[in-house]
Homo-oligomer: A and B are copies of this chain.
Amino acid sequence: MDIRLGDNQYGKAETRLVRVDRGEAGHAITDLNVTTTLSGDLAATHLTGDNSGVLPTDTQKNTVYAFARDGVGEIEDFAARLAKHFVDTTPTIRRARVRIEQYSWERFGHHSFVHRSGARTASVTYDGTAATVVSGVDDLVVMNTTGSEFHGFHKDGYTTLPETNDRILATAVSARWRHGRAVNDDWRASHEAATSRLLEAFAGTHSLSLQQTLYAMGEQVLRHREELVEVRLSLPNRHHFLVDLSPFELDNPGEVFFAADRPYGLIEGTVVRDGAPDPGLAWW
């Protein structure tokens, strides 16, 4: 037989979990979107429909809710608890990845909250032996209104872009950073510090290209957070074009811009610490 099963995985995507902690002084909420992904000895279900090795995705969802009964804590820990459980208790499962997005809420009053933009993320992969932890942020939308240039680029017969010494630089940061070890006393502090470093580098870099800003962001995180070994960034370039007002006999000294939707530049890159442990399945 010359056709065979290759790589495969399965799981439950986007289990929406909200946990309420009812403290005397004020409530707290943990608002998560959890995706579990399992792989292992799963040929039978693919080839013959023998499901004896398949832990249903419905069970995975139930497990997320049941585990939350004891408290969620930091999402890196919750993801690790779940990933280890699936591998350690399901005979066929060799690897699990649990990815969590945590939405941000700000408390006002005793038990009232307002939603804030941006998501904190964590992804833990576990293979029965070792866990790898990646933390991150999604959709952190930022803009610099000056301090960004783009010139000296390669030109060919299809190049019409004028060089500029002053442009708007705007992007929606998706960043992931890999931890060197699977344990951390204070995941939250680590996350807040890494996010602050990203913002600090975005604001503080006089940018000659979005690539330069990307590298500066990753480099700044690694330089200041020794628990981290690698940063991956995906930065869409949300173009803002200066509107030509000359038909109306108006100048436009960098004041009025059109925010474009598509197309957009997309800059992706990795910054890594020398001697970082092998990523293994971290980015799987």
**A183, CB-defined interface residue at 8 Å:** no
Chain B residues lying within 8 Å of A13, measured Cβ to Cβ, are 236, 262-266
B22 touches A146 (CB 8 A): yes
A71 to chain B, nearest CB (A): 9
In A145-176, the 8 Å CB interface with B consists of 145-147, 149-161, 168
Residues in chain B near residue A66, CB distance under 8 A: 158, 245, 248, 250
User: Which of A112-120, A123-131, A186-194 lies on the face that meets chain B?
Assistant: A112-120
Complex-state Cα separation, A20 to B32, whole angstroms: 34
Q: What is the 8 Å Cβ interface bit string for chain A, positions 94-121, against chain B (1 contact, 0 not)?
A: 0000000000010011011111110000
Q: Which residues of B contact A247 (CB under 8 A)?
A: 62, 160
Partner of A255, one of B19, B112, B149, B265: B19
Q: Smallest distance from the beta carbon of A205 to chain B beta carbons, Å?
A: 9
1/0 per position for A21-58, CB-CB distance to B under 8 A?
Answer: 11000010101000101000010011111111111111
Q: Interface residues of A, CB < 8 Å — how many? A: 131
A140 on interface, CB distance cutoff 8 Å? yes
Copies of this chain, complex-wide, total: 4
Say yes or no: A254 contacts B20, CB within 8 Å: yes
User: Judging by beta carbons under 8 Å apart, are A62 and B14 in contact?
Assistant: no
For the complex formed, measure the closest distance between the CB of A145 and the CB atoms of chain B, giving whole angstroms.
5
Which residue from B2, B42, B109, B215 sits with its C-beta under 8 Å from A273? Answer: B2
8 A–B contacts, CB within 8 A, in A order = A10-B265, A15-B263, A18-B168, A20-B255, A57-B237, A59-B155, A66-B158, A115-B143
User: What 8 new A-B contacts, CB under 8 Å, besides A29-B145, A66-B248, A116-B116?
Assistant: A5-B272, A10-B269, A12-B263, A48-B208, A57-B263, A69-B248, A90-B154, A91-B154
